[in-house]
Amino acid sequence: MKIAVCIKQVPDTEARLRVRKDGRWVEEEDLPFVINESDNYALEEALAIAEQRGGEVVVISLGPARVKDALRKALALGAKRAIHLADAAFDGGDAAATARALAAVIEREGCDLVLTGSQSDDAGWGSTGSIVAGHLDWPHAWLVMGLEVEDGGSAKVTREMESGMNEVFRLQLPAVIEVQAGINHPRYASLKGIMQAKRKPIDTPTPAEIGLSADGVGAAGSKIEVLDVAFPSSGEGAEMIEGDAAAMVATLVEKLQREARVL
Amino acid sequence: MSRTVWILLQLRDGKLHRMAREAITAGQALATAVGGRASAVIVGHETDAASQEAAAFDLDAVWVADDAKLAAYTPGAFVGTLVQAVRGAEVAPDYLVAPHTYQSVDFVPRLGQQLDAAVVPEAVSFEAADDGMVFRRPIMGGKLQARVRTRGEGLAVVTVQSGAFSASDATAGSADVRALSIDFSTVAADREILGVEQVGGDQVDLSKADIVVAVGRGVGGEDKMQPIHDLAEALGADIGASRPVIDNGWLPRDRQIGSSGQTVAPKLYVAAGISGAIQHLVGMKSASCVVAINKDASAPIFSVAQYGLVGDLHEILPVLTEAVKAAKAS
Ligand SMILES: Cc1cc2nc3c(=O)[nH]c(=O)nc-3n(C[C@H](O)[C@H](O)[C@H](O)COP(=O)(O)OP(=O)(O)OC[C@H]3O[C@@H](n4cnc5c(N)ncnc54)[C@H](O)[C@@H]3O)c2cc1C
């Protein structure tokens, strides 16, 4: 079974964000990047399926040179090969443009199953995997909390619904499964894995090499343009209590007793 | 040129979903902003009650696709139906508006792809600009907001975030209920539904908790949870958590608060080390008094808190626990 996992490299959620000078995105200089949280779970799910049923995992990512680190990490965890859509033409795309490129790579690879995270922690489109499936004309499922590949080319899928309920259904493979964080317990890379990853291949095809024109991908191929990003106006936010821990706590307890009357 | 907005209404147990009403408000407002009219679209089976509900709003029409194939939601059948509806429409829509529910996010992007539309997920507001509409949406887990514009004249598909528009602001009126003409022989489900299950079996019910101490990823690990337990005990509180705490196995799944977990409405909610992503906020925004403790002064949790303390929770919580004990003793 050949499984492709699409991962995205995103700013660490712990990182302090600044708006870039041109106002259109966050400043990426000095920003720590990590593999998107739900993508980590997608990768683990793929590695576990490949181990159980035999097969290989190919990891795919779109983004600038820094994305190599995320791909190396995925290779260290057990992916066999990586494909890096690093050409500048791929940059700045919306979910539709990114998905078009990913679908073209997957088509070229010929995969039995594609796993992605459900949503990125940066742009948060929550759409990329579903659009990939649309291009491939495969079934898909978003927010998957359980996946069981079955003999005979189907999969049993558990999908999260609102308010603590799950829906269970079966779909036919090949399919795109968009994994939700918490589906499994992602492994850590071993020293051996990290050493081996250095020798594993990372392929960097251009748009033309995956059969797309440069104006069909990236910013040029997008229908959505980000005008600017900003910290939301805090509005009537919290009353901020100042001081050292002891002073803050003293003020807080007094307010909880006298003002809010909840203590 | 007059613009047409279609509002895709989600049903729940044969009635309009709570967020479908919010989508009506959003769709009506969008229609006004673009100088056009809104209609509603209902896809499902045994839809009479829901279409009557929708007909009581100021809409051009309530378009209905009703077929046994649509009784259970599947993206295959819903996308197949809606693609036909849009392509065969007397007046083609310029905008599709849907509530940002887990069902919408499952099929709306694919619908957009099939219709070659621009997809704008999770809009919280919009404004008219010279060359079209500008939508505001959260990015970076709600820490920032982006203003995005759709390029070109084509169809745009927008999902609106929970709570961004108020259901009670929808304008009442009266609309005709009309059947969409759909060839259901070409509409097919792409999932075989097996059932619905409760996550994690027996649930701790937090919905009636009086006081909740909620812990987030900022606590730093399973071995660092003691101050949370101590404060909860001092306050007589139940413990809740954000999703990463559960995903990492630091607390069981039935402690999760948010869109995928429980909804709470305590009189006091202490959020420690929680950034305040929308999926968490929807589960606790009805709390009467929220105290947020976070080392990052710009964390979005402070925008829903009544009192904010910036600092390390591991320094603040032990002091708070002692102060609560002292206050209760006196
Ligand atoms: C479809 C979907 C459904 C989801 N459902 C839910 C849900 O039901 N519930 C839910 O909670 N989330 C849910 N999420 C996840 C949600 O988007 C956020 O990722 C999550 O709520 C973040 O949790 P957090 O605030 O604990 O972690 P983070 O966002 O990582 O925030 C940690 C915070 O801790 C602070 N911090 C760090 N160290 C300290 C310290 N020593 N002292 C004080 N503060 C500190 C940091 O400044 C930061 O603000 C869902 C996501 C998706 C896509």
The band of B43, judged by pLDDT with boundaries at 50, 70 and 90, is very high
Using CB atoms, pick whichever of A11, A95, A172 lies closest to residue B109. Answer: A95
User: Contact A17/B140, CB-based, under 8 Å?
Assistant: yes
On average, the pLDDT of chain B sits at 96
Minimum-distance CB partner of B198 among A164, A171, A227: A164
Length of chain A: 263
CA of B215 to the centre of ligand 1 (A): 9
> Does any domain span residue A243?
no
- Across the interface, of B110, B246, B310, the residue whose CB is closest to A134 is B110
Q: Which pLDDT does position A234 carry in this prediction?
A: 60
Q: For residue B197, which residues of chain A lie inside 8 Å, CB to CB?
A: 158, 165-166, 168
Q: Give the pLDDT band of residue B129 (cuts 50, 70, 90).
A: confident
Identify the three-state secondary structure at position A47: helix
Nearest Cα to B132, choosing from B109, B115, B117, B154?
B154
Is CATH 3.40.50.720 the right assignment for the domain spanning B206-329?
no
Across the interface, whether the CB atoms of B196 and A165 are under 8 A apart is answered: yes
pLDDT confidence bin for B40, thresholds 50/70/90: very high
User: What is the assigned CATH class of domain B4-186?
Assistant: alpha beta
What are the pocket residues of ligand 1 if the criterion is a CB atom closer than 6 Å to any ligand atom? A 13, 118-119, 143; B 141, 216-218, 242-244, 256-261, 273-275, 277, 279-280, 283, 293-296, 299, 312-314
User: What's the pLDDT score for residue A232?
Assistant: 85
- With a CB-CB cutoff of 8 Å, which residues 8-37 of chain A face chain B? 11, 13, 16-17, 19, 26, 37
Distance B229 CA to ligand 1 centre (A): 19
Predicted-complex ipTM score: 0.96
- Across-strand partners of A224? B150
Query: How far does A131 lie from chain B, in Å, by closest CA?
Result: 5
Q: Is A237 part of any domain?
A: no
What span, in angstroms and rounded, lies between the C-alpha atoms of B9 and B24?
8
pLDDT tens for the 263 residues of chain A, in order: 999 999 999 999 999 999 999 999 999 999 999 999 999 999 999 999 999 999 999 999 999 999 999 999 999 999 999 999 999 999 999 999 999 999 999 999 999 999 999 999 999 999 999 999 999 999 999 999 999 999 999 999 999 999 889 999 999 999 999 999 999 999 999 999 999 999 999 999 999 999 999 999 999 999 999 999 999 876 567 999 999 999 999 999 999 999 999 99
pLDDT digits (tens, 9 = 90+) for B272-325: 999 999 999 999 999 999 999 999 998 999 999 999 999 999 999 999 999 999
HEC string for chain B: CCEEEEEEECEECCEECHHHHHHHHHHHHHHHHHCEEEEEEEEECCCHHHHHHHHCECCCEEEEEECHHHCCCCHHHHHHHHHHHHHCCCCCCCEEEEECCHHHHHHHHHHHHHCCCEEEEEECEEEEECCEEEEEEEEHHHCEEEEEEECCCCCEEEEECCCCCCHHHCCECCCEEEECCCCHHHCCCCCEEEEEEECCCCCCCCCCCCEEEEECHHHCCHHHCHHHHHHHHHHCCEEEECHHHHHCCCCCHHHEECCCCECCCCCEEEEECCCCCHHHHCCCCCCCEEEEEECCCCCHHHHCCCEEEECCHHHHHHHHHHHHHHHHHC
| The pLDDT value given to residue B151 | 85
A142 reaches B (C-beta below 8 A):
yes
Q: Which residues contact A179 (CB under 8 A, 6 or more apart)?
A: A38, A39, A41, A42, A45, A115, A116, A117, A118, A144, A147
Asked whether the beta carbons of residue B146 and residue A228 sit closer than 8 angstroms, the reply is yes
Tokens of B53: 């509900």
Question: Domain range for residue A97?
Answer: 2-221
From CA B137, how far away is CA B19, in angstroms rounded?
17
Cβ atoms A217, A89 nearer than 8 A: yes
Size of interface A-B (CB pairs under 8 A): 261
CATH code for the domain in which residue A188 is found: 3.40.50.620
DSSP-assigned beta bridge partners for residue B64: B42, B179
CB proximity list for A51: less than 8 A, separation 6 or greater: none
Interface of A with B in 204-233 (CB under 8 A): 222-232
Length of chain B: 330
Which atom from ligand 1 is nearest to the alpha carbon of B293?
A: 43
Q: Atom 23 of ligand 1 has which residue's CA nearest to it?
A: B242
Top mutation candidate among B217, B247, B293 for ligand 1, by most atoms within 8 Å of CB: B217
Q: Is the pLDDT of residue B201 over 80?
A: no
Q: How far is the CA of A147 from the centre of ligand 1 (A)?
A: 25
Q: For chain B, what are the domain ranges?
A: 4-186, 206-329
Total of domains in chain A: 1
The per-residue pLDDT for A236 is: 62
What is the per-residue pLDDT for B299? 93
Inter-chain touch B307–A234, beta carbons under 8 Å? no
Residues in a beta bridge with B43: B65
Average pLDDT of the segment spanning B143-152 = 93
Q: Is residue A211 part of a domain?
A: yes
Instruction: Say whether residue A84 is in contact with chain B using an 8 A CB cutoff.
Output: no
Common-topology check for domains B4-186 and B206-329: yes
Whether A199 and chain B come into contact, CB under 8 Å, resolves to: no
Q: Cβ A131–B256 below 8 Å, yes or no?
A: no
A113, β-bridge pairs: A3
Ramachandran region of residue A202, left (φ > 0), alpha (ψ -120 to 50) or beta? beta
* pLDDT of B196 over the 70 cut: yes
Q: What is the pLDDT of residues B53-92, one digit of tens each?
A: 999 999 999 999 999 999 999 999 999 999 999 999 999 9
Check: CB of residue B33 under 8 Å from CB of residue B56. Answer: no
